[in-house]
Structure 1
Amino acid sequence: MSLDVAPRRPRTRTRSRIGWTWVALSSLAIAVYAVTPYVTTPLHELAGDGVGLAGAYENQPAWVHAAFYAHIAAGGVALLVGPLQFWRALRERARAVHRAVGRVYLVAVLIGGVAALALAPVNSAGMVGFAGFGTLAVLWVWTAWRGYRAIRSGDVRSHQAWMIRNFSLTYAAVTLRLWTGVLVAAQSPWIVTGADADAAFTNAYAVVPFLAWIPNLVLAEVLVRRRGLPALRIVDPASGPAGYARTEVGEG
């Protein structure tokens, strides 16, 4: 995976390094924040303390618990190692390490995505969560598969593009929490305590299942195009007779 396609000016490289540092540190912070409670404390105790989503899954069947823990663990691994794949020095000076870390990342995405898809029907946000998180899970696995296929066929540029898109979806774990905080804070003048705070969280979660990842994917596509990598297109200009275009998703 790479974000670098052509030589860039010093100012652009500086912005890129700042952006990478922010992404790496925020991914690390959320990986530790989201995973640590579940690997150190039983689910029923977390539910009693009102931690995270423990209360929503405490009384679910064993297979839901298994999918829940698989998603948390694999998602945490993907967040930890994903930014390393965009580290230019690692990619250029230690390609074997880059490939090994990439394999770990792709396996983590596969496990986390399948687990997320299994959890979508029983998520705590109802039908909005089912649609938003379910779509995210499908796209997460699909973009990883496209990136893997591209590198296996030797198409490095397409691999780079697909993995930028894929990590933007991995990063939804970070933006989900940022957006939730922003939306809850936006309601703060009307929040007192207790039920009001719960209602504010519920209101925020009515849009977060989509807001957590759609802007990320849009920004990823902007980045892909700015880097001159193969971009997604909706209309194939070479298809059909004059005046007719077949709608499809492909690479430009």
Structure 2
Amino acid sequence: MWPVIAAFLYFYWLMVKITFYYIPFSTNAAFLQIKQTEVQSLPEYIYLFYAHVYSSIFVLLFGFLQFFSFKSPLGTKIHRISGYQYVVLLLIFAAPSGIYMGWHANGGAGSKLSFILLGLLWWSCTAVAMLRIKQRRFAAHRNWMIRSFALSFSAVTLRLWKVGIVYFFHLPPLDVYQIIAWLGWVPNLIIAEIIIYNQQKK
């Protein structure tokens, strides 16, 4: 368990450092430098972009906390509060803004389709997880949360794939983006299904 925690904290810190690029609010920071067409022509783009960046960093943390077994009353309370924050931030801010950004993604129709589909699945898996816990169907709730967090973690895996592909294959930036648009989340979801399947066999 500790190696998993250490690995997550390392990657989470890398994501926090990326988030710092967007503090304070700016219309041309980091990634936005290549999105100036959208920034200039779509007034809502910049606000939805920042809604996605600022909410997603907390979604990643709160989602990770959901997979620890808390035995004490305080631990149970922390689990519920962090779960509530995860669901609210994701359903209201992170996923909807991600779907909007997917519509304006670089890389053509394939990349747009990937990011829109990712956002829709992310929102849907989380909504179903919330519904299942309200129904007190705990095993089903956990399974849908595994799927939801696998998609949340695409923020990390997308960047890992990008580094690996650039380092080993030296592809043009647009080609890399088109590839990682799918590699960032599809393998995550496959792994999530394998985990769920193995748990159900026990």
After TM superposition, the runs of 4+ consecutive aligned structure 1 residues lying more than 2 A away are 16-21, 51-55, 57-60
Q: CA deviation at 1:41?
A: 5.3
Point out where structure 1 has 5 or more consecutive residues left out of the alignment. Answer: 1-15, 189-198, 230-252
Q: What is residue 202 of structure 1 aligned with on the other side?
A: 174
- Are residue 182 (structure 1) and residue 161 (structure 2) matched? no
Instruction: Note if contact 1:116-1:134 (Cα within 8 Å) is conserved in structure 2.
Output: yes
**Distance in 2 between residues matched to 1:75 and 1:60, nearest whole Å:** 25
Work out whether 1:84 is the aligned partner of 2:65: yes
Aligned residues: 197
Larger Rg: 1
Aligned to 2:148: 166
Corresponding letter in the other structure for 2:31: G
1:96 aligns with 2:77: yes
Q: Mapping of 1:88-167 within 5 angstroms?
A: 88=69, 91-93=70-72, 94-110=75-91, 111-167=93-149
Distance 1:63 1:20 in 2: 37
1:60 shift after superposition:
4.1
Asked whether the equivalents of residues 150 and 185 of structure 2 are also in contact (C-alpha less than 8 Å), the reply is yes
Query: RMSD between aligned alpha carbons?
Result: 1.9
Equivalent-residue separation in structure 1 for 2:163 and 2:172 (angstroms)? 10
Secondary structure of the residue aligned to 1:92 is coil
* Alignment correspondent of 1:19: 4
Aligned to 1:217: 189
In structure 2, distance between residues paired with 1:223 and 1:24: 21
What's the counterpart of residue 244 of structure 1? none
Q: Distance in 2 between matches of 1:68 and 1:179?
A: 22
Alpha-carbon separation, structure 2, partners of 1:85 and 1:76 = 15
8 Å CA contact 2:27–2:46 kept in 1: the answer is no
- Partners of 2:148 and 2:163 lie apart in 1 by 24
- 1:59 paired with 2:40, answer yes
Q: Shift of the alpha carbon at 1:221?
A: 0.9
Cα pair distance change 1:150/1:102, threshold 3 Å: same
CA contact (8 A) 1:20 1:83 kept: no
After superposition, the C-alpha distances for 1:71-118 in whole angstroms (9 at most, x for unaligned) are: 111111111221111122xx3221111101101011121111000111
User: Residue 67 of structure 2 aligns to which amino acid in structure 1?
Assistant: F
Letter in 2 for 1:92: K
User: Structure 2 vs 1, CA of residues 81 and 24 (structure 1 numbering), >3 Å: closer, same or farther?
Assistant: farther
Task: Give the share of equivalent positions with the same residue, in percent.
Answer: 24
**TM-score normalised by the chain length of structure 1:** 0.73
| TM-score after normalising by structure 2 | 0.90
Are 1:29 and 2:10 counterparts? Answer: no
SS of 1:177 mapped into structure 2: helix
Q: Give 1:24 shift.
A: 4.0
2 CA distance for matches of 1:21 and 1:166? Answer: 21
